């Protein structure tokens, strides 16, 4: 019997019994989100061959695996702002990375509330942490348990979370838990970090991943630095998989698993040159697995879904009314109609002011660059601090990149429109926007994106005044003098580009 049917029957029985809200809530399923930083769908059940991920694979075996789930934003804070409200980040004004935290404040639109508020109002205990007392989000032992990552770009009340863990709830009280894992961020951005991960892998898993065994996208050179970084990244996938297994074991050992909806997903793709912060699949395609009461085993869903749908399906599973204004959809509902398109947006990340929008259909990925006169790899204090980006820039300066890498990563300008064909172009390297044979698809998706921008009240770029407030606030919070100076110089460049209409 489908999960939704089971829940509806349960609530009908409870309603006829006339029980109060607290006892009603006590019969509801627990809801656990496992949210992972900076990680693409590099799991065995999604086709990864270099490593094995038995724990995530087991989740998929016991539930539903979505093969075409996408983030509506490819960077942490905007993704999480959308995730926790079930709204497109553009619709709530939270679409610029790490914004609204200084002099410039962002308030949620009227009627929009973070998901934990809905759960608390329904009698749930709300918590956010590592899912393992005494263990941090990177899987290391700790003496100081703490709340997990939030990173929301709007004003919110810390009281929406009761604790870092479900252990403190009342007897029989259902809980909504976010297990926040450091994921791909564990690998860091330096040789010292790589060394530490490799030592950890030997100690905990017997061996680190062999650099020469990894597969890279065709626009990344098989350079030792690039290969080692990707291998270290895959080791963080293995660490994450192990942590997930321990959380599931804990739920099982505490006799909670059978009545717990588990939703596993990542907050965007791998942090790399064309991944995180960009709207190609490397940056936005994410794993999404749902396991829980009434959900049939070993299901594969190939329809298009968005990460904001997690909010709606979770509320619905708990018997909580999904707000009519929520843009996420209950994709587990029996009457859910498959989406014809899903959307994405990238805006300012740090000092790097940008505006990119995308629409995906079953066959195409359409991308619009609102600042085509700017280079693909624009100056960015965050990205340029990474060893892999420094290496790519050096190889480019030395003329050692192949033509594809030079074109996609280091062209001085970008196409105003990009169009890619799924099934034939895994890494989105062949732009068909100028192809006569795909002109109809280009026009259709162009209109579809225009309509989405209008219907969702996409506000677009910040004003110059807000850009100054936001970037100055971030510089104040940057302790490293050299990093702060790089950020300042970059911000001046972006202000100049804006004044020139570039």
CATH code for the domain of 183: 3.40.720.10
Number of domains in the chain: 2
Is 342 within a domain? no
Structure tokens at 17: 């019994």
| Domain C-terminal end among 285, 300, 334 | 334
* Tens digit of each residue's pLDDT (9 = 90 or more) over 448-472: 999 999 999 999 999 999 999 999 9
Is 431 within a domain? yes
Residue 359: name the closest of 436, 450, 226 by CA: 450
Per the DSSP assignment, residues forming a β-bridge with 261 are 31
Whether 285 and 385 share a structural domain: no
Place of tokens 């794993």: 287
Whether 116 and 182 share a structural domain: yes
Whether 303 and 378 share a structural domain: no
Is 404 within a domain? yes
Whether 167 and 66 share a structural domain: yes
pLDDT beyond 50 at 124: yes
Whether 205 and 250 share a structural domain: yes
**Dihedral of the CA atoms 443, 444, 447, 449 (nearest 10)?**
-110
Confidence band of 27 (pLDDT split at 50, 70, 90): confident
Whether 324 and 360 share a structural domain: no
Confidence band of 25 (pLDDT split at 50, 70, 90): very low
Whether 265 and 361 share a structural domain: no
pTM of the model: 0.94
Distances (CA, A) of 190 to 81, 302, 428: 29, 37, 28
Place of tokens 């936005």: 284
- Strand, coil or helix: what is 70? strand
DSSP secondary structure string for all residues of 335-346 = TPPPPS-EEEEE
Whether 170 and 297 share a structural domain: yes
**Segment 404-417 mean pLDDT:** 97
- CB-CB contact of 351 with 474 (8 Å): yes
Is 449 within a domain? yes
Question: How many Cβ atoms from other residues are within 10 Å of residue 261's Cβ?
Answer: 25
* Tens digit of each residue's pLDDT (9 = 90 or more) over 147-205: 999 999 999 999 999 999 999 999 999 999 999 999 999 999 999 999 999 999 999 99
β 285-291/30-36 pair status: unpaired
Whether 299 and 413 share a structural domain: no
Is 320 within a domain? yes
Instruction: Give the span between the Cα atoms of 64 and 297, in whole angstroms.
Output: 7
Instruction: Give the span between the Cα atoms of 79 and 267, in whole angstroms.
Output: 6
Instruction: Give the span between the Cα atoms of 304 and 238, in whole angstroms.
Output: 27
- CB-CB contact of 130 with 137 (8 Å): yes
Is 477 within a domain? yes
**Segment 210-224 mean pLDDT:** 97
- CB-CB contact of 127 with 179 (8 Å): no
Whether 172 and 291 share a structural domain: yes
For the chain, the C-alpha Rg in angstroms (whole number) is 22
Q: At what angle do helices 224-253 and 54-61 cross, to 10 degrees?
A: 50
Cα angle: 356, vertex 497, 344; to 5 degrees: 5
Which H/E stretch holds residue 360? Answer: strand 356-360
The domain in which residue 101 lies consists of 3-334
Per the DSSP assignment, residues forming a β-bridge with 260 are 30
Whether 360 and 330 share a structural domain: no
**Segment 215-225 mean pLDDT:** 98
Which H/E stretch holds residue 246? Answer: helix 224-253
Instruction: Give the span between the Cα atoms of 157 and 230, in whole angstroms.
Output: 38
Instruction: Give the span between the Cα atoms of 205 and 307, in whole angstroms.
Output: 31
Is 350 within a domain? no
DSSP secondary structure string for all residues of 143-156 = S---------SS--
First to last CA, the chain: 57
Q: Which residues are CB-contacts of 42 (< 8 A; sequence separation ≥ 6)?
A: 48, 51, 233, 234, 237, 270
| Domain C-terminal end among 272, 300, 334 | 334
Helices (H), 378-480: 381-384, 387-397, 403-410, 439-455, 464-476
Instruction: Give the span between the Cα atoms of 380 and 349, in whole angstroms.
Output: 8
| Domain C-terminal end among 303, 334, 365 | 334
Whether 231 and 187 share a structural domain: yes
* Tens digit of each residue's pLDDT (9 = 90 or more) over 44-100: 999 999 999 999 999 999 999 999 999 999 999 999 999 999 999 999 999 999 999
- Strand, coil or helix: what is 286? strand
pLDDT beyond 90 at 23: no
Is 229 within a domain? yes
Structure tokens at 463: 């004003």
């Amino acid at each position: 019997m489908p999960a939704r049917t089971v829940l509806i029957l349960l609530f009908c029985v409870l309603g006829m019994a006339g029980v109060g809200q607290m006892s009603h809530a006590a019969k509801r399923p627990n809801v656990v989100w496992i949210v992972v930083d900076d990680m693409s769908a590099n799991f065995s059940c999604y086709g990864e061959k270099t490593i094995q991920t038995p724990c995530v694979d087991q989740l998929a075996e016991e539930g539903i695996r979505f093969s075409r789930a996408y983030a509506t934003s490819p960077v942490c804070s905007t993704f999480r702002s959308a995730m926790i409200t079930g709204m497109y980040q553009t619709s709530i004004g939270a679409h610029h990375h790490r914004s609204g935290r200084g002099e410039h404040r962002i308030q949620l639109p009227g009627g929009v509330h973070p998901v934990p508020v809905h759960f608390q109002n329904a009698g749930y205990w709300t918590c956010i942490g590592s899912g393992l007392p005494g263990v941090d989000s990177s899987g290391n032992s700790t003496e100081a348990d703490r709340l997990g990552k939030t990173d929301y770009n709007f004003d919110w009340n810390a009281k929406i979370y009761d604790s870092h863990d479900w252990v403190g709830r009342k007897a029989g009280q259902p809980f909504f838990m976010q297990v926040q894992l450091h994921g791909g961020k564990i690998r860091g951005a330096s040789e010292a970090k790589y060394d530490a991960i490799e030592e950890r892998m030997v100690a905990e898993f017997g061996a680190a991943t062999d650099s020469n065994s990894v597969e890279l996208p065709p626009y990344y050179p098989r350079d030792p630095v690039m290969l080692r970084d990707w291998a270290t990244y895959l080791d963080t996938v293995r660490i994450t998989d192990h942590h997930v297994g321990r959380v599931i074991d804990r739920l099982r050992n505490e006799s909670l698993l059978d009545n717990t909806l588990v939703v596993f997903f990542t907050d965007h793709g791998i942090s790399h040159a064309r991944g995180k912060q960009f709207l190609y699949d490397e940056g936005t395609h994410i794993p999404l697995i749902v396991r829980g009461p009434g959900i049939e085993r070993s299901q594969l869903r190939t329809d298009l879904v968005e990460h904001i749908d997690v909010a709606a399906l979770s509320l619905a599973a708990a018997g909580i009314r999904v707000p009519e204004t929520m843009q996420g959809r209950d994709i587990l509902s029996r009457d859910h109609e498959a989406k014809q398109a899903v959307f994405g947006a990238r805006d300012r990340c740090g000092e790097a002011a940008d505006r990119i929008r995308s629409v995906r259909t079953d066959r195409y990925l359409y991308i619009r660059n609102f600042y085509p006169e700017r280079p693909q790899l624009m100056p960015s204090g965050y990205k340029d601090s990474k060893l892999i980006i420094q290496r790519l820039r050096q190889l480019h300066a030395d003329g050692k990149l192949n033509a594809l890498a030079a074109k996609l990563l280091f062209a001085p300008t970008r196409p105003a429109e990009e169009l890619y064909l799924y099934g034939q172009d895994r890494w989105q390297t062949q732009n068909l926007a100028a192809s006569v044979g795909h002109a109809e698809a280009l026009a259709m998706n162009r209109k579809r994106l225009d309509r989405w921008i209008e219907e969702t009240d996409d506000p677009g770029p910040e004003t110059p005044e807000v850009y100054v407030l936001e970037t100055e606030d971030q510089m104040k919070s940057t302790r490293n003098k050299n990093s702060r100076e790089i950020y300042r110089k970059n911000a001046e460049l972006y202000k100049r580009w804006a004044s020139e209409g570039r």
